[in-house]
């Protein structure tokens, strides 16, 4: 429980945080052979929020997601998912990995991949049943590729692969979703399908933490942002945190990026 936790609160937010915030991270440090990748990272993710994790290459964004799910050992720090360690809340966390992380020439169909999200629920040694397949189909329907259910995964476009992974996470009916660059190199149709899905998840009270590269679309797609470059530069609502000053701190004055930032800000001003 947070109330009897001796840890200091990570931000000076005057309103006390609810005990069961989807994700709370304190003093997280991850190092690969003495080289720190994440350093004293602390942030909170409020319920029903869409959080963009933004930062330059090598900022530790993927490592952060992996550390949250215990895939990478952490040197120090504590992570709570809905008030408990991740290992006790697995089922409430859906993970959408980078699509390059698997070999798509594997002999399974799209439906088979989505069903993998239900394996834990089905349990060891138990067979897959009709109602599991129906749920997987429903998840595919949500991301708009139900017609591809029986296609071999080797015959998918990049965007379709991404949607398959998203459906696998959706079928789990989790409450917190961690997504590793779902928008990377996907077609326009997939991008808008994912955005639409994110909106629906927020409405249903779910929380999404999404690694995102396209600074221009951050204000459009997300309501919270975590600016990360080994340490947390800033985190909070987009309107307060996504400023050119903070972005400059995150990206360290790289010229091409500054240009992107300016466009992003101009765009944001337009939308506000």
Partner 1 sequence: MSLDCGWAIQGLAELGPVAEISGALWRLLTLADYNTRVVILGTALLGCAAGVVGSFTLLRKRALVGDAISHAMLPGLGLAYLLALAMGIEERSWSWLLLGATASSLVGTAAILGMRRWLRISEDAAFGIVLSTFFGAGVALLGVIQSLPSGHAAGLEGLLYGQAASLTWSDMGLIAGAAAAALVVSLLLFKELTLLCFDQQYLSTQGYSLSGLDGILMALVVMIAITGMQAVGLILVIALLIVPAAAARFWTQQIQRQVIIAAGLGAAGCFGGSVISALVPDLPAGAVIILVCTGLFLLSATFGYRQGVLWRLWRRQDWQQALARQHLLRGIYERLEVRTPGEIARAGAEASVTVEELLSLRSWNRRTVERVIERSQRAGLVTRIDGRVWLSKTGWLAARRLVHQHRLWELYLITHADVALQQVDRLADDIEHVLEPAVIEELEEILQQRGALIAECPHRSPESV
The residue ranges that bind partner 1 (CB under 8 A) are 69-71, 87, 90, 93, 95, 97, 101-103, 106-109, 112-113, 116, 119-120, 122, 124-125, 128, 152, 154-160, 168, 185-189, 192-193
Cα 211 to Cα 200: distance, rounded to the nearest angstrom:
18
Best CA proximity match to 208, nearest among 254, 166, 161: 166
Provide the minimum distance between the beta carbon of 88 and partner 1 in the complex, in angstroms, as a whole number: 10
Provide the minimum distance between the beta carbon of 244 and partner 1 in the complex, in angstroms, as a whole number: 24
Strands (E), 71-206: 76-81, 93-96, 176-179
Provide the minimum distance between the beta carbon of 4 and partner 1 in the complex, in angstroms, as a whole number: 27
Provide the minimum distance between the beta carbon of 43 and partner 1 in the complex, in angstroms, as a whole number: 20
**Long-range contacts of the stretch 61-65 (C-beta < 8 A, 24+):** 61/180, 61/211, 61/228, 62/98, 62/180, 62/211, 63/30, 63/37, 63/38, 64/28, 64/30, 64/38, 64/228, 65/95, 65/178, 65/180, 65/209, 65/211
Provide the minimum distance between the beta carbon of 5 and partner 1 in the complex, in angstroms, as a whole number: 24
């Amino acid at each position: 429980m947070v109330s009897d936790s001796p840890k200091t609160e990570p931000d000076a937010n005057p309103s006390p945080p609810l005990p069961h915030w989807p994700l709370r991270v304190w003093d997280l440090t991850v190092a690969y052979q003495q080289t720190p990748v994440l350093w004293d990272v602390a942030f909170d993710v409020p319920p029903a929020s869409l959080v963009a994790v933004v930062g330059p290459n090598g900022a530790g964004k993927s490592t952060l997601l992996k550390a949250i799910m215990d895939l990478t050992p952490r040197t120090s720090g504590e992570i709570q998912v809905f008030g408990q360690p991740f290992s006790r809340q697995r089922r409430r966390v859906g993970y959408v990995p980078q699509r390059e992380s698997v070999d798509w020439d594997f002999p399974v169909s799209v439906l088979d991949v989505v069903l993998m999200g239900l394996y834990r629920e089905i349990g060891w040694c138990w067979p897959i049943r009709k109602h599991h397949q129906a749920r997987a189909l429903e998840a595919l329907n949500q991301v708009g590729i139900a017609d591809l259910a029986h296609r071999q995964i080797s015959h998918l476009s990049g965007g379709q692969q991404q949607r398959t992974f998203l459906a696998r996470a959706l079928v789990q009916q989790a409450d917190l979703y961690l997504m590793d660059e779902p928008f990377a190199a996907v077609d326009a149709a997939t991008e808008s399908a994912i955005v639409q899905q994110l909106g629906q998840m927020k409405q249903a009270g779910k929380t999404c933490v999404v690694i995102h590269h396209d600074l221009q679309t951050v204000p459009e797609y997300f309501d919270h942002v975590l600016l990360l470059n080994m340490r947390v530069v800033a985190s909070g609502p987009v309107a307060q945190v996504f400023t050119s000053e903070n972005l400059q701190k995150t990206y360290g004055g790289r010229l091409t990026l500054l240009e992107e930032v300016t466009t992003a800000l101009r765009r944001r001003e337009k939308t506000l």
